[in-house]
Amino acid sequence: AVPTSIMVATGRAAEMGVLFRKGSALQTLQGATIVALDKTGTLTQGRPELTDLHVVEGVDESSLLSTIAAIEARSEHPIAQAIVRAAQQRKLELPTVDTFDSVTGMGVTAQVSGQTIIVGADRFMIESTVELGDLEIAGKRFAEQGKSPLFVAFDGQIKAVLAVSDPIKSSTPAAINALHAMGLKVAMITGDNQVTAKGIAAQLGIDEVVAEVLPAGKVKAIEALSAAHGKVAFVGDGINDAPALAAADIGLAIGTGTDVAIESADVVLMSGDLRGVINAIDLSQRTMTNIR
Ligand code: ADP
Ligand code: MG
């Protein structure tokens, strides 16, 4: 009777747009005690917008924006696309970029007109020995508003702080409430700024936050959550989520996410949001209760 009810359940799940890769995933999911969620693209729309641009005295805003947009046009990060779109909206002409390098979890660096430019998180500036000066406070203020601050330095001198804001998916708050109602703990894992992450988590009632993790650190974060709470279900969408999807007791990929994430997951959610997670857990709990 066991295989039959699991077959029926995975069939029903598929009709709801929840694809269980193997029957055992249904069983494992039922045992999860904590659900860890990636932030960007999973909790949020993954389409940030540039909301603020604060330059130091004497710096021309348009010229700075056109330079960093030219650099970010080489990056595939959602933040980069926000900056490029902002420059397009202002119809700015982009300068030629001579060299480009992307530093995972940190930002980007490039040579433009003989200057070395870096754009990225505060930790990227600190690592590059750039003093943030007054812009540190401006950045903190953006983070407190749930925005992600990005800093810009030219030849080691801080020139600007920008903020991007990534709206929360409208279905996210109800999904988190539903997880709590099922007796599950909810965690968030992100490479984003600590203050930004904490603010968003507080707004959503998320129990635990692991922020400023480098892509390789997501696996460590899963292991730590597992040691503290028991079986972990991880939900993610990005390339940088693939190792964590594989490392979690059960990995659920958002179907609108990247191929690498989908390939690494035990469960694929065809809907672009967290409602599939609720359906998957609900179905796994009901199926396993029937079997017992
Ligand atoms: P996440 O997608 O969860 O924010 P990432 O590891 O991709 O995690 O990025 C971590 C941080 O590194 C970002 O929040 C941002 O501050 C910085 N960063 C990454 N890529 C870029 C980029 N192309 N331009 C500017 N900053 C970037
Ligand atoms: Mg993501």
Burial of residue 1 (number of CB atoms within 10 Å: 0-12, 13-18, 19+): exposed
pLDDT higher than 60, residue 125: yes
Residue nearest to atom 14 of ligand 1 (CA): 192
Taking only the tens place, the pLDDT of each residue in 141-178 is 999 999 999 999 999 999 999 999 999 999 999 999 99
CA of 245 to the centre of ligand 1 (A): 19
Instruction: Please say whether the beta carbons of 71 and 77 come within 8 A.
Output: no
pTM, rounded to two decimals:
0.90
Query: Does ligand 1 have an atom closer than 6 angstroms to the CB of 236?
Result: no
Whether the complex's predicted ipTM is more than 0.90 is answered with yes
Q: CA angle, 61 as apex, 55 and 66 as ends, to 5°?
A: 125
**Averaged pLDDT for residues 260-271:** 94
pLDDT digits (tens, 9 = 90+) for 28-87: 999 999 999 999 999 999 999 999 999 999 999 999 999 999 999 999 889 999 999 999
Cα 46 to middle of ligand 2, angstroms:
7
Of 10-14, 143-147, 220-224, minimum mean pLDDT range = 10-14
Q: How confident is the model at residue 292 (pLDDT cuts 50, 70, 90)?
A: low
Q: How confident is the model over 232-260, as pLDDT tens digits?
A: 999 999 888 999 999 999 999 998 888 99
Residue 5: the pLDDT is 85
From the CA of 43, which ligand is nearest?
2
- Sorted by where each starts, the structural domains of the chain and their CATH numbers stand as 2-45+168-291 (3.40.50.1000), 49-165 (3.40.1110.10)
Is there a contact between 98 and 111 (Cβ–Cβ < 8 Å)?
Answer: yes
Ligand in nearest proximity to the CA of 37: 2
Q: In this structure, which residue's CA is closest to atom 7 in ligand 1? A: 105
Q: 79 CB under 6 A from ligand 1? A: yes
* Residue whose CA lies nearest to ligand 1 atom number 9: 105
Per the annotation, the verdict on 52 as an active-site residue is: no
